[in-house]
Chains A and B, each alone.
Chain A
Amino acid sequence: MSKIHVTTTVNGEPAEFLCQPGNSLLDALRDDLNLTGSKEGCSSGDCGACSVIVDGRLVCSCLMLAVEAEGKSITTIEGIANGDVLHPLQRKFLEHAALQCGFCTPGFLVAAKALLDHNPDPTETEARYWLAGNLCRCTGYDKIIRAVLDAAAEMRAGAPAGE
Chain B
Amino acid sequence: MTFIGNKSDLKVVGTRPVRPDGVDKVTGRATFGADYTMPGMLMGRVKRSPHAHARIVSIDASKALALPGVKGVVTAADFPDIPSEEAFVGEGPMNFRDLSLNCIARGKVLYEGHAVAAVCAISDEVAAAACDLIDVTYEVLPHVIDVEAAMAPDAPLLHADMFTANVTPKPEKPSNIAKKVHFTVGDVAAGFAQADVIVEGHYSTQPVHQAYIEPHACIASAGADGQCHIISSSQGHFMIRAYVAKLLGMEMSNLKVTPAEIGGGFGGKTVVYLEPLALAMARKTGRPVKMVMTREDVFRATGPTSGAVIDVKLGATKDGIITAAQAVLKYQAGAFAGSPVQPGCMCAFAMYDLKNVDVVGYDVVSNRPKVAAYRAPGAPIASFAAESAVDDLARKLGMDPIALREKNAAKAGTKTAYGVTFAEIGYEQVLAAAKNHPHWKAPLGPNQGRGIATGFWFNIGGESSASVFINEDGSVNVVSGSPDIGGSRASMAMMAAEVLGIPVEHVRPIVADTASIGFTHVTGGSRVTYATGMATVQAAENVIEQLKTRAAMIWDIPPEAVEWKDGQAVPAGANAGGFDPLPLAAIALKAAKTGGPIGAEVSLNAQGAGPGFGAHICDVEVDKETGHVTVLRYTAVQDVGRAIHPSYVEGQIQGGAVQGIGWALNEEYVYNTKGLMDNAGFLDYRVPVASDLPMIEAVMVEVPNPRHPFGVRGVGEVPIVPPMAAVANAIRGALGIRMHALPMSPPKLRAAVDSGVG
Task: Write the residues of chain A forming the contact surface with B, with a CB cutoff of 8 angstroms.
Answer: 20, 22, 30, 35-44, 46-47, 49, 76-78, 80-81, 86, 90, 93-97, 99-106, 109, 125, 127-129, 131-146
Contact with A along B679-692 (1 / 0, CB 8 A): 00111000111111
Given contacts A101-B263, A140-B657, contact A41 B214 (CB under 8 A): yes
Determine which of B29, B264, B645 lies in contact with A101 in the assembled complex, contact meaning CB atoms within 8 Å: B264
**Which chain A positions have C-beta within 8 A of B692?**
132
Interface-side segment among B19-27, B57-65, B320-328, B508-516:
B19-27
Chain A residues with Cβ below 8 Å from B689 are 131-135, 141
Q: B residues within 8 A CB of A131?
A: 689-691
A44 to chain B minimum Cβ distance, whole angstroms, is 6
Contact between A137 and B26, CB atoms less than 8 A apart: no
Min C-beta distance of A95 to chain B, whole Å: 7
Q: How far is the CA of A139 from the CA of B650 in the complex (A)?
A: 9
- Count chain A CB atoms within 10 A of each CB in B31, B263, B657, B659 and give the residue with the most: B263
* B174 contacts chain A at the CB level, 8 A cutoff: no
Query: A22 to B657, alpha carbons, bound, how many Å?
Result: 40
CA distance A136 to B658 in the complex (A): 10
* 546-594 of chain B: CB within 8 A of chain A: none
B693–A135 CB distance below 8 A: no
Question: Which residues of chain B are within 8 angstroms of A43 by Cβ–Cβ distance?
Answer: 294-295
- Is residue B704 within 8 Å, beta carbon to beta carbon, of the partner chain? no
Instruction: Please measure, in the bound complex, the distance between the C-alpha atom of A35 and the C-alpha atom of B487, giving whole angstroms.
Output: 24
Question: Chain A residues with Cβ under 8 A from B125's Cβ?
Answer: 20, 22
Q: Given A43-B294, A100-B648 in contact, is the A36-B691 Cβ separation under 8 Å?
A: no
Q: Decide if B18 is an interface residue (CB 8 Å cutoff).
A: yes
Interface of A is mostly: loop
| Contact A138 to B26, CB < 8 A, known contacts A42-B682, A44-B683 | no
A-B complex: 7 closest residue pairs judged by Cβ atoms: A37-B28, A103-B263, A102-B25, A140-B658, A97-B647, A46-B682, A140-B654
14 pairs of residues in contact across A and B, judged by CB atoms under 8 Å? A41-B215, A94-B22, A101-B263, A101-B265, A104-B213, A138-B651, A138-B655, A139-B654, A140-B696, A141-B693, A142-B654, A142-B693, A143-B654, A145-B695
Given contacts A94-B19, A134-B690, are A99 and B654 in contact (CB under 8 A)? no
Give the residue among A44, A46, A49, A81 with the most B Cβ atoms within 10 A.
A46
Contacts of B214 on A, CB cut-off 8 Å?
39, 41, 101, 103
Q: Which of A30, A38, A40, A145 has the most CB of B within 10 A?
A: A40
Are B213 and A135 closer than 8 Å at their CB atoms? yes
Once the chains bind, are A141 and B658 in contact (CB under 8 Å)?
A: yes
B703 to chain A, nearest CB (A): 23
Complex Cα–Cα for A47 and B657 (A): 20
- Which of B26, B35, B652 is in CB contact (< 8 Å) with A99? B26
A132 to B691, CA, bound (A): 6
Select from chain A the residue with minimum beta-carbon distance to B646.
Answer: A97
A137 to B264, CA, bound (A): 8
Inter-chain contact A40/B215, CB cutoff 8 Å: yes
A46:B27 contact, CB within 8 angstroms:
no
Q: In the complex, what distance in Å separates the CA atom of A130 from the CA atom of B172?
A: 60
Q: Is the CB of A106 within 8 A of B682?
A: no
Known interface pairs A40-B215, A97-B647, A125-B691; 19 further A-B residue pairs with C-beta atoms within 8 A, sorted by A's residue number: A20-B125, A36-B28, A37-B28, A37-B29, A39-B263, A41-B214, A41-B263, A93-B22, A94-B22, A94-B23, A97-B487, A103-B261, A106-B28, A109-B26, A133-B689, A134-B690, A135-B213, A139-B654, A145-B690
Contact flag A35-B696 (CB < 8 Å), given A46-B681, A132-B689, A139-B651: no
Residue from the set B294, B486, B652, B656 with the largest chain A CB neighbour count within 10 Å: B486
